[in-house]
């Protein structure tokens, strides 16, 4: 009976608008929830068809979807590990019930933003207890190669606030000019001395003492120097002894022509380096390639150290951490040295709206969301990670209130349909009187 279908359609309309009211209520309730992604309710008509010219109302069906791909605006904060994403991608986290040392990998969930702070064990947790995850760096700060289509390489990020750091020196750059006049017959043959500090394996400051002795010929100019390297950590023992020959041609005058080794590692013309064995490890000494104007030179009449540099750092204490745009978690030490300790990837999948929504603004990958991939932040389709920032709720309160008015009117109208059908059924019952 078509009048009964009208009643069913009115009830369906009440249920559909009640569902929309529930989603609007959730959106408004979370208008101040950081990282909240709004829920949208849409209606689809149900058609039951007609028979013999009679039409039967099919009613309406409501469906809801959380719009995870639509984010809110970013706001600044004072915490360096408050994180948000400018663009596409999600942060990997694991539930707060994670037990260190447990077998297997922790479950990877996803979130859009969070205020992460170290707990009593140093794990970066947000207000909901979720622990941020990332790839651990090697001791030298480089990130090893990890699989990108699985979460197997991800580890909960743990910050050791009492960590001391000291990086041994492995390379020294000697950029200097030797006086050409000292290799001319009749010159005084003055030895030029230089001391370069470096850091050993224990973070102690040592010195590499360098002597440049000119080769003075009986006539003409030799354009040659003897370079002697003495390691202060080995009681000034000689660790390198080389003869440096310089060009005097018009095209390459003053640049290295050849290097002859007496003590120490062989000179590489490709890298411009020699390797010497100091008390606690090998150190590469960069003097420049053959014909290289930016390397060691012999020009004019002045000994000038132009560019002396080295890598490594003394022992220092960690004073904080920051996250850069590419997701690298950098530990800052009191000497001003930064060292990467983790990298946070951004998780992307074909259909972010297909993720399974959980409590506390977290999501779980599903078959509907598609296969996920871990990207370096700022590469591929993903955006950048922003420190000192949070993402506000995606709720547009004005829009939700407008929808609330429309939903209320639609609900009242469907109730009126039911009331009308009831009156018509009452008239049908009155026919028998």
**110 and 62 inside one domain:** no
- Determine the pLDDT at residue 34: 96
Could you give the 3-state DSSP secondary structure of residue 24? helix
Could you tell me which residues come within 8 angstroms of residue 156 by beta carbon, excluding any fewer than 6 positions away? 94, 98, 100, 106, 123, 124, 131, 132, 133
Angle between helices 2-29 and 397-430 (to 10 degrees): 160
- Determine the pLDDT at residue 280: 82
Single residue among 286, 311, 336 that ends a domain in this structure: 311
DSSP letter at 374? E
Q: Does residue 68 come out as left (phi exceeding 0), alpha (psi in the -120 to 50 range) or beta? A: alpha
Q: Does residue 203 come out as left (phi exceeding 0), alpha (psi in the -120 to 50 range) or beta? A: left
- Calculate ∠ Cα 255-259-261, nearest 5°: 160
β-bridge pairing 39-45 and 345-348: unpaired
Rounded CA gap, 327 and 30, in Å?
A: 28
**What pTM was computed for the model?**
0.74
Q: Does residue 151 sit within a domain? A: yes
Single residue among 311, 330, 357 that ends a domain in this structure: 311
Rounded CA gap, 33 and 115, in Å?
A: 12
Domain that holds residue 11: 2-70+394-430
Handedness of CA 133, 137, 143, 148 (dihedral sign): negative
- pLDDT tens string 168-227: 999 999 999 999 999 999 999 999 999 999 999 888 899 999 999 999 999 999 999 999
Name residues of the chain where pLDDT drops below 50.
none
| β-sheet bridge partners, residue 206 | 198
Q: Does residue 87 come out as left (phi exceeding 0), alpha (psi in the -120 to 50 range) or beta? A: left
- pLDDT tens string 333-387: 887 888 899 999 999 999 999 999 999 999 999 999 999 999 999 999 999 999 9
**412 and 301 inside one domain:** no
**215 and 301 inside one domain:** yes
CATH code at position 297: 2.60.98.20
Count of domains for the chain: 3
- Determine the pLDDT at residue 335: 79
CB 226 within 8 A of CB 212: yes
Could you give the 3-state DSSP secondary structure of residue 377? coil
Could you tell me which residues come within 8 angstroms of residue 251 by beta carbon, excluding any fewer than 6 positions away? none
């Amino acid at each position: 009976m078509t009048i009964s279908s009208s009643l069913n359609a009115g009830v369906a309309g009440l249920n559909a608008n009640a569902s929309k009211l529930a989603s609007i209520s959730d959106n408004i309730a979370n208008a101040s929830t950081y990282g909240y992604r709004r829920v949208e309710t849409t209606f689809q008509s149900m058609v039951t068809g007609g028979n013999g010219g009679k039409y039967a109302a099919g009613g309406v069906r409501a469906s809801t979807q959380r719009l995870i791909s639509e984010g809110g605006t970013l706001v600044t904060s004072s915490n360096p590990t408050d994180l948000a994403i400018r663009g596409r991608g999600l942060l990997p986290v694991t539930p707060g019930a994670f037990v260190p040392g447990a077998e297997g990998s922790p479950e990877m969930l996803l979130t859009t933003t969070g205020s992460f702070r170290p707990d009593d064990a140093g794990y970066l947790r947000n207000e909901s207890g979720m622990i941020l995850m990332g790839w651990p760096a090697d001791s030298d700060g480089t990130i090893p190669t990890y699989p990108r289509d699985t979460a197997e390489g991800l580890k909960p990020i743990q910050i050791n606030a009492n960590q001391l750091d000291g990086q041994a020196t492995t390379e020294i750059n000697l950029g200097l000019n030797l006086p050409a006049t000292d290799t001319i017959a009749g010159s005084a043959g003055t030895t030029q001395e230089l001391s370069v500090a470096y850091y050993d394996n224990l973070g102690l400051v040592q010195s590499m003492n360098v002597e440049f002795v000119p080769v003075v010929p009986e006539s003409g100019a030799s354009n040659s120097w003897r370079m002697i390297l003495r390691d202060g950590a080995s009681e000034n023992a000689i660790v390198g002894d080389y003869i440096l020959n310089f060009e005097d041609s018009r095209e390459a005058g003053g640049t290295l022509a050849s290097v002859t080794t007496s003590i120490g590692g062989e000179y590489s013309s490709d890298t411009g380096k020699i390797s010497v064995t100091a008390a606690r490890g090998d150190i590469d000494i960069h003097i420049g390639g053959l014909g290289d104007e930016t390397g060691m030179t012999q020009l004019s009449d002045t000994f000038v150290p132009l560019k002396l540099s080295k890598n490594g750092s003394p022992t220092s204490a960690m004073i904080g951490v920051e996250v850069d745009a590419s997701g690298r978690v950098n530990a800052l030490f009191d000497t001003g040295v930064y060292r990467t300790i983790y990298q946070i990837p951004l998780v992307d999948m074909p259909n972010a709206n297909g993720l399974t929504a959980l409590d506390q603004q977290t999501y779980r990958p599903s078959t509907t969301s598609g296969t996920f991939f871990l990207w370096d932040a700022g590469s591929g389709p993903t955006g950048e990670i922003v420190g000192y920032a949070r993402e506000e709720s995606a709720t547009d309160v004005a829009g939700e209130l407008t929808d609330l008015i429309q939903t209320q009117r639609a609900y009242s109208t469907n109730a009126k349909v039911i009331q009308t059908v009831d009156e018509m059924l009452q008239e049908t019952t009155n026919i028998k009187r």
